Structure 1
Amino acid sequence: MISTTYLNLDHQKAERVGAHETAREIAHQPHLWLDVLNLIDTNKSQILAFLDPIFEIPNLRIILTGAGSSAFIGEAAQGLVQKNTGKITQALATTDLVTHPELFFMDDVPTLLISFARSGNSPESVETVRLADLHASNLYHFIITCNEEGQLAEYARQHKSNTHCLQLPKEANDKSLAMTGSFTSMLLSVLLISDLKAMISKKEEVASASKYAEYILNNYPPKFQKIADLDFERVIFLGSGPLLGIARECHLKLQELTDGQVVCKHDSFLGFRHGPRAVLNEKSLVVFLFSHDAHVYQYERDLAKSISSDLREIPSISFGIQEKDDFDSILNVSNSSSDNTVGDFNVLVATLIGQLLGFYKSLALGLHPDSPSVSGAISRVVQGVKIYNKH
């Protein structure tokens, strides 16, 4: 019998160290993206029937919302959705909307609330939908969820007149604590639904992103494993534009998977110069999530060169550049294929960097990636949040 291997761990070893689900879910993403692409393409007419009339509303406002990693989907997608739809788009976390709905919802502005939810049972996610209905009179819901049995999916079934629910494949509903495939599949979904009329070109780009991710997952795990054995206590993820949201997700992923033993930070390349750079010390690792835009890369490259010349010799990982540049990185994660045209879907592939680094550092610290929280302080679905009615 052939033993299944994910991320260089055979099934028995992965089970023994509490890493099987996380390893499988990270490794399965390239195939999951193609499944999500096919799902949306198959249901394209239904989605368009719901969204087209909404997108025609002149002063429509789009809010992207979720909690934790689901909120970071909105941060990564915000600019791209706005570019695709031509509608003002904001990423607002449910954790902000629940406490201060009156500061964000505008009753006289037509609003499309796009909710991201792995389980659909987070107290803030459920409450945000209720509050939106109370504070916005012209409101539409588009729910993207990985759990057909969750409360948000049930809400969609009961409010069909102004709500559409995109139920992702069951494989997107991660079993492990850390969101991996659920994050990237929901991010992919919103990028696709915001530009469905360009589906032909999107198919090619998603297929290319899937191949790029497959290449990384087949070739880089031993290198990440080696880096995870290094003695670092801080990791700073840097990204620009949509990749800033991905930097934040990578920050959370590594911090979650190491149970807070590695403290992380994220910032934009330009923003990092304005004070936050003070966090760098001899125990730091910097991860550069480089833009595929040549103009943006010029700004990013300047900071990379500056950090590379730091006398403390702070190590860095680079993602997204094809050729070696005039700064040193201990690892350059790129696709050697010359026909790599992922377009905006490079955000999906960049997310793997935080996932892989977090996964192997978790193992290096003797933790169990499937359930890394030793104290139980963090859980798969947030616990202990009591919702209060505002009078």
Structure 2
Amino acid sequence: MHSSGRWSGDSWTAREIGQQPATWLRVAEVVRRARPGIAELVGDGRRRIVLTGAGTSAFVGEVVARDLARRLGRPVEAIATTEIVADPAGVVVDDRPILLVSFARSGNSPESVAAADLLHRLTPGLRHLVITCDSGGQLARRWSGAANAVVVALPEEVNDRGFAMTSSFTGMALAALLAFGVDVDVAALARAGSTVLGDAAEHAAAIAGAKPARLVFLGSGPLRGLAREAALKCLELTRGEVVGLADSALGFRHGPKSVLDERTVAVIFLSTEPHTRAYDVDIARELVQSLGEERVVVVGGEADGEFGGARSWPVPVPAGLPVAGYALLAVIAAQTTALACSLALGITPDNPFPEGEVNRVVQGVVIHDFEPPEVG
């Protein structure tokens, strides 16, 4: 955490949130060295590009998919490993070759290994790009040296030692953008990240001080994946004592709005794109009417009254930064809020489940054999 923050040095989680701007510069150097091999994997426009992972790693794909599609000029799909493993026939629907981009902190989750192996068996000409934080993990070892694969192992410090993924999330997302040639000024991004961290403790403590029982995170387009990651961080670090929910600005009105009560705090991730932003502003104003000014926070907004009196959490946006790059800055608000709520509840953020109800690397998954259906 920033040196003025009251969490500085208290836990791995706090340190790993605070180290992110510095790690982004090192991630960029690792990806720069891997770019020639990655370019060979992409192939022509017929090749499907599927981004996969589980939990936070799946949300990486959701955040970056649209910016990758714009850069490459072709559809890019984010499909979780949990979906691939449970329904492989729903993923392999034709004979188009696939580039499978696997995101993994450890690469030791059963679904991470199984998803890649399943598609390798079912899809002719499958290629693999593995972006991982652990060069010694099963996924990295499985595909290192393979002729149809590139493994990008991020710097060791990005392999979070805390329970929840923080710097691993932003490190893998940035690596994906750079791997496919999305233009990101990493030095400017790092400076902006340091600025966000500078007053994060104050903003996050204010939200935790409201003693929310429910935290609703809303984001549109790529920021819906960010909202899902924010809700997960809340659930993980508070041991489920603060319920995190995620939706889009427009989707929230279609039933999920029923969750609002007097102990709800709503956090809106304001889009950097004007058209999308208009819908974010609308829902912020509406929620102020439902919850009051103190229980609505707009991340990325300025305190200028545009949001009906909602509290603002400013986020500087370097010129030309893609939406997915902005998400790496905005997620700091989610991470620090979850940490503040965890500490306010007296929970140890590095080990919120000391009895092992939930584990850092998922356990208890049985991978069942899959036999492809007969065609014709």
TM-score normalized by the length of structure 2: 0.93
Deviation at residue 276 of structure 1 after TM alignment: 1.2
- Can you give the 5+ residue segments of structure 1 that lack an aligned partner in the other structure? 15-19
Partner residue, 1:168: 154
Partner residue, 2:70: 83
Partner residue, 2:6: 8
Deviation at residue 58 of structure 1 after TM alignment: 3.0
What root-mean-square deviation, in Å, do the aligned CA atoms of Structure 1 and Structure 2 show?
Answer: 2.0
User: Aligned residue pairs: how many?
Assistant: 369
| Residue of structure 1 aligned with 2:118, choices 125, 131, 154 | 131
Deviation at residue 182 of structure 1 after TM alignment: 0.4
Deviation at residue 47 of structure 1 after TM alignment: 2.9
Residue 151 of structure 1 pairs with residue 134 of structure 2: no
The 8 Å contact of residues 212 and 340 in structure 1, kept in 2 or not, is answered as: no
Partner residue, 1:27: 18
**Distance in 2, Cα, partners of 1:103 & 1:46:** 29
| Residue of structure 2 aligned with 1:223, choices 189, 203, 206 | 203
**Distance in 2, Cα, partners of 1:137 & 1:79:** 26
Change (3 A) 1:280 1:68: same
The 8 Å contact of residues 180 and 355 in structure 1, kept in 2 or not, is answered as: yes
| Residue of structure 2 aligned with 1:184, choices 170, 174, 181 | 170
**What amino acid is aligned across from residue 268 of structure 1 in structure 2?**
S
The 8 Å contact of residues 58 and 78 in structure 2, kept in 1 or not, is answered as: yes
Partner residue, 1:342: 321
The 8 Å contact of residues 19 and 167 in structure 2, kept in 1 or not, is answered as: yes
Q: Deviating runs (4+, > 6 A) in structure 1?
A: none
The 8 Å contact of residues 227 and 247 in structure 2, kept in 1 or not, is answered as: yes
**What amino acid is aligned across from residue 193 of structure 1 in structure 2?**
A
Deviation at residue 336 of structure 1 after TM alignment: 6.2
Residue 274 of structure 1 pairs with residue 254 of structure 2: yes
Deviation at residue 45 of structure 1 after TM alignment: 2.9
Residue 381 of structure 1 pairs with residue 367 of structure 2: no
Change (3 A) 1:29 1:252: same
Match of 1:98, SS state, is: helix
**Distance in 1, Cα, partners of 2:103 & 2:74:** 19
Change (3 A) 1:175 1:248: same
Deviation at residue 321 of structure 1 after TM alignment: 2.1
TM-score normalized by the length of structure 1: 0.89
| Residue of structure 2 aligned with 1:324, choices 292, 304, 313 | 304
Match of 1:324, SS state, is: coil
| Residue of structure 1 aligned with 2:231, choices 251, 262, 265 | 251
**What amino acid is aligned across from residue 152 of structure 2 in structure 1?**
L
Partner residue, 2:34: 43
Partner residue, 1:17: none
Residue 358 of structure 1 pairs with residue 349 of structure 2: no
- Can you give the 5+ residue segments of structure 2 that lack an aligned partner in the other structure? 372-376
The 8 Å contact of residues 317 and 329 in structure 1, kept in 2 or not, is answered as: no
**What amino acid is aligned across from residue 322 of structure 2 in structure 1?**
G
Percentage identity across paired residues of the two chains: 38
